[in-house]
Amino acid sequence: MYSNKLYTPLRYPGGKARFAPLIAEVITTNNLAGGHYLEPFAGGAGVALSLLIDSIVEHIHINDADSAIAGFWRAATRQTAELVQMVATEPITMDAWHHWRGVMLGQQAGTELERGFATLFMNRTNRSGILKGGVIGGKAQSGSYKIDARFMRDELCSRLERIGLHADGIHVYEEDAHELLRRCHQFLPSKSLIYLDPPYYVKGAGLYRNYYKHDDHLEIAKLLGSARFKRPWIVSYDNAEEIREMYAYATPYAYGLHYTAQRRYTGSEVMFFSSRLQAPLDAMAKIAA
């Protein structure tokens, strides 16, 4: 049964965990329950974790080209107990922030476990979870929120422990999404769904460490639309005209969204469904603002 609990330890600008009920409905409506699920741009992987933990799918494949993000997921799934121990005990101070920042950027040596922790540390102590952003409260820690405002140790430990319990059902990749999609038929059974949440077309450049350009977006759209691509997929985007043109072959569903990254604004987003899928129109109507 699907629950609406937040399972990911990562805060993510534009995180899509709230789409989990919709994606779960697409999966059941299209007889894909119990199959596999791939997120080529996983980030916080909120949807993937919900689908796995709530037993909608049997196996999730999560990929992110950002080595810090992929490294976090490797540590979370392979060294869960050690990571939990660090989350429970490591100091959350400005000195620690400088240290873990150096580890995340590769300026200071760190084991795979330490690099994974460094990503979580920066994600939970920086504004809006932006890895290359500034620390909550500012370097002088003079703001009303301090560095540890979002580092809820107990909650993070339980989220990590829950991930550890399901680690056998999680496969982590650190590849370019396009490359992974080109070979995904090799590891995805036909009973699979792919959900793509690429960096935003317009706003993506400032948010993530891997900048995505017009042609990168176009290459993905072409691959998904080609006759040789045989797995069903859903893609979500900011509602830009260029994106609507690239996906002109698919049916768009536009909806409004309140979104917080640095500051609050109301944006407009769009979702496209592959022709292999029956789209759940009732559920879409619920997210339409």
Q: Decide: 235 and 211 in contact? Cβ < 8 Å.
A: no
Q: Show Cβ contacts of residue 241 under 8 Å, excluding neighbours closer than 6 positions.
A: none
Choice between 213 and 276, CB closer to ligand SAM = 213
The sheet that has 233-238: what strands, in order across it? 170-173, 59-63, 36-39, 192-196, 233-238, 263-273, 251-261
Provide the token pair at 43: 């980030």
Between the alpha carbon of residue 75 and those of residues 88, 97, 170, 188, 200, the distances in Å are 15, 19, 12, 23, 27
Figure out which of the listed residues 67, 210, 225, 240 binds ligand SAM, where binding follows CB under 6 A: 210
Choice between 84 and 177, CB closer to ligand SAM = 177
Choice between 63 and 77, CB closer to ligand SAM = 63
Range 149-188, binding ligand SAM (CB under 6 A)? 176-177
Q: How far is the CB of 217 from ligand SAM (least distance, A)?
A: 10
Q: How far is the CB of 196 from ligand SAM (least distance, A)?
A: 9
Q: Label residues 257-286 b or e (16+ Cβ within 10 Å = b).
A: bebebeeeeeeebbbbbbeebebbeebbee
Figure out which of the listed residues 69, 193, 270, 271 binds ligand SAM, where binding follows CB under 6 A: 69
199 scored as a contact of ligand SAM (CB under 6 A):
yes
Figure out which of the listed residues 9, 21, 44, 116 binds ligand SAM, where binding follows CB under 6 A: 44
Figure out which of the listed residues 7, 9, 14, 247 binds ligand SAM, where binding follows CB under 6 A: 14
DSSP 150: T
64 scored as a contact of ligand SAM (CB under 6 A):
yes
Interface residues with ligand SAM (CB under 6 A) are: 12, 14-17, 40-41, 43-44, 46, 63-66, 69, 176-177, 197, 199, 208, 210, 212
